[in-house]
Structure 1
Amino acid sequence: MDIRRVAAAAALITSLLGTSAAPAFADETVDSQGPVVSVLWPLATVPNVIGKGFQSITADATDPSGVDRYTWFVDGAQRSQEQYLHYDFGARQRTTTIEVWAWDLAGNHSVTTFPVTVDAEAPKATAFSPASSTLLRGQLRTATVALKDRSVVGGALLVSGPNVTDTVAPFTGRFPLGAEGPQTLRWYVTDVWGNAGYVTQTVTSDNRTPTLKFASAPANGAKVKDSVVIKAAATDRYGIAKVQLLVNGRVLAADSTAPYSFTLNTRKYGKQKFKIQLRAYDKAGNATTTAARTWHR
C-alpha cells in the first residue's frame, strides 16, 4: 500500500490565511496489493492433507478494500469460483497442487499456492503387544496395536475378539487363545477419512506343560551322604526356560541350560528326612513338578 502526501503550496496558504502557518498535508491511501489468503482445512491439526473422494477446502481472505471474488485451480485446471473448493480428489494416494486466486474490490489479486496430499491409505501398524511370535498361555488375553497414519487414526477392532472398536490409543482388544500352535490376530483399522484395512500379528498358544523326570538321582527312601548329583530330563515343544531343584518345597537352585544338573550337599540337612523335587518351566510359563523323593542320612 502506498501513502502519498500531497502538500499545498506554502505561499498560497500564507496568502489566503494571511499567516505564516505551516503547510497542510492531505493523506491519500492507495490499495495496490491483493488480499491475504489463509486456508481452512477440514482437519485443523493436519494441514495440507485431504481425504479421498469429494472434500471441501475454504479460503479466508482479508483486504482493506474488501474481498471481491475467488478462483480455485487444481493442478492448473480451474475448479471453483466460490470461497470454497468442493472437489473430487479421487481414490488414490497422491500429491496435488492447489492455487487460490483472490481479488479485492480495487481490482488487485493475489495467488496462494500449496501442495495437498490425498490420504487414501489405511493406518499401518508400528508395534504389537504381545510381539509377533510370542508364546502365550491361558484362556483370554489382551493385545495392543500401535498405529500411524498420514492423517488421524480413527480406531482399531480386534476381529479375533469381542466386537468392540477402540478409538483411543493405545488400541486394545481381548481375544481367546485357540488350540495349541500359531494363532493369527487380525485388526480392522480405520482413519478419520474412512480409509480402512487389516493388520495382522501371529502369536503361539501353548497351554501344555513340559515333560519332566529325574534322569539320575537316588531313589525315593534312599539313604544318602555327602554331595549328591541330581540330573533332570525336561522337554517341551517350544523349549524349556529353566529347571529348578526344590528341597522341602523351597527352590534351592535353577539351571537354564541342558543337560540340567544339580549338586546337593546333604550334610546341611543333618539326620532328618528331607524331600527333593524338580520343577520345569517352558518358555510360555507353563510349569510341571515331579513327585517328591524323600531321602535321609
Structure 2
Amino acid sequence: MRGTFTSTLQGVQDVIGVARAELWANGRYVGSDNVAPYSMAVNSGAANGSVVLTWRLTDRFGNTRTYTRTVVADNAGPAVSISKAPRNKAKIKGTTKVYVKASDASGIARVELIVNGKVVARDYTAGYLLGFNASKQRKTMKVQVRAYDKLGNVKYTSTRTWYRK
C-alpha cells in the first residue's frame, strides 16, 4: 500500500454491543469509529516498510479485544539509472538506444523515455531497452528516463542534453 488507504474491520460482534472501535498504526492513534463495519482512512505518509495496524474494540462494559494486521508501506520511488546511452552533450543521429536498469521491492510497472517533455518510448519488461529516431526530434534534446513501480511511485533520472547531427 501507499499514500492514504482504508482499513476496515468487519464481521466482529459482541453480545453487549461494541461501544468504540479505535485504530492504531505503529502505536499511533489514527481515529475511532462506532458503526460496523468499522472503517478508517490511514495516511501512510512517507513510511516505508512494515506498518502494524491494530483495531481495539471496547464493549459497553469496558471489555477490550484487539485485532492486529501488518501491511507493507511503499512510498519510495524505484531505483532507476541509464546503464548505456550516449553521454551528456553527445551528438546523435538515426535510431538511438537507451539501456535502463530499474528495480523496486514492489516491482517495476514500466519505464519511459522522455525527449523534450514527451514520451517517445516505453518498455514493460526487465532488461529495459528504449529507442527513438533522433532525426524526428529538435536539434537540441533534453532526455530523461522515468520509472514507475507497481504501486504508482515514480522516479526520474537526471536530464541529459543531446544534439542532433
Which TM-score bucket, shorter chain as reference? Answer: 0.7 to 0.9
CA distance in 2 between partners of 1:234 and 1:245 (Å)? 13
Asked if the contact 1:158–1:174 (Cα under 8 Å) also holds between the matched residues in 2, the reply is no
Give the secondary structure class of the aligned counterpart of 1:159.
Answer: strand
Q: How does 1:33-112 map to 2 (within 5 A)?
A: none
Tell me the equivalent position of 1:157: 22
Gaps of 5+ in 1: 1-134
CA distance in 1 between partners of 2:14 and 2:57 (Å)? 13
Tell me the equivalent position of 1:267: 135
Q: Which has the larger radius of gyration?
A: 1
Give the secondary structure class of the aligned counterpart of 1:281.
Answer: strand
Tell me the equivalent position of 2:122: 254
Name the TM-score, length of structure 2 as normaliser: 0.77
Asked if the contact 2:144–2:158 (Cα under 8 Å) also holds between the matched residues in 1, the reply is yes
Q: Give the direction of change, closer, same or farther, for the CA distance of 1:163–1:262 in structure 2 (3 Å limit).
A: closer
Q: Which amino acid aligns with 1:136?
A: R
CA distance in 1 between partners of 2:69 and 2:37 (Å)? 16
Q: Shift of the alpha carbon at 1:279?
A: 0.6
Tell me the equivalent position of 1:33: none
Gaps of 5+ in 2: none
Asked if the contact 2:78–2:149 (Cα under 8 Å) also holds between the matched residues in 1, the reply is yes
Tell me the equivalent position of 1:80: none
Q: Shift of the alpha carbon at 1:262?
A: 1.2
> What is the CA deviation profile of residues 83-121 of structure 1, one whole-angstrom value per residue up to 9, with x for unaligned ones?
xxxxxxxxxxxxxxxxxxxxxxxxxxxxxxxxxxxxxxx
Asked if the contact 1:226–1:265 (Cα under 8 Å) also holds between the matched residues in 2, the reply is yes
Q: 1:291 aligns with which of 153, 158, 161?
A: 158
Q: 1:224 aligns with which of 86, 89, 92?
A: 92
Q: Which amino acid aligns with 2:90?
A: A
**2:29 is the counterpart of 1:166:** no
RMSD of aligned residue pairs (Cα, Å): 2.8
Give the secondary structure class of the aligned counterpart of 2:91.
Answer: coil
Tell me the equivalent position of 2:11: 148
Asked if the contact 2:7–2:42 (Cα under 8 Å) also holds between the matched residues in 1, the reply is no
Higher relative contact order (CA 8 A, sep 6+): 2
Q: Which amino acid aligns with 1:199?
A: Y
Identity of aligned residues (%): 37
> What is the CA deviation profile of residues 15-38 of structure 1, one whole-angstrom value per residue up to 9, with x for unaligned ones?
xxxxxxxxxxxxxxxxxxxxxxxx
Asked if the contact 1:151–1:192 (Cα under 8 Å) also holds between the matched residues in 2, the reply is no
> What is the CA deviation profile of residues 113-147 of structure 1, one whole-angstrom value per residue up to 9, with x for unaligned ones?
xxxxxxxxxxxxxxxxxxxxxx325xxx4432141
Asked if the contact 1:136–1:203 (Cα under 8 Å) also holds between the matched residues in 2, the reply is no
Tell me the equivalent position of 1:212: 80
The total of aligned residue pairs comes to 159
Q: Give the direction of change, closer, same or farther, for the CA distance of 1:194–1:253 in structure 2 (3 Å limit).
A: farther
Give the secondary structure class of the aligned counterpart of 1:267.
Answer: helix
Give the secondary structure class of the aligned counterpart of 1:219.
Answer: coil
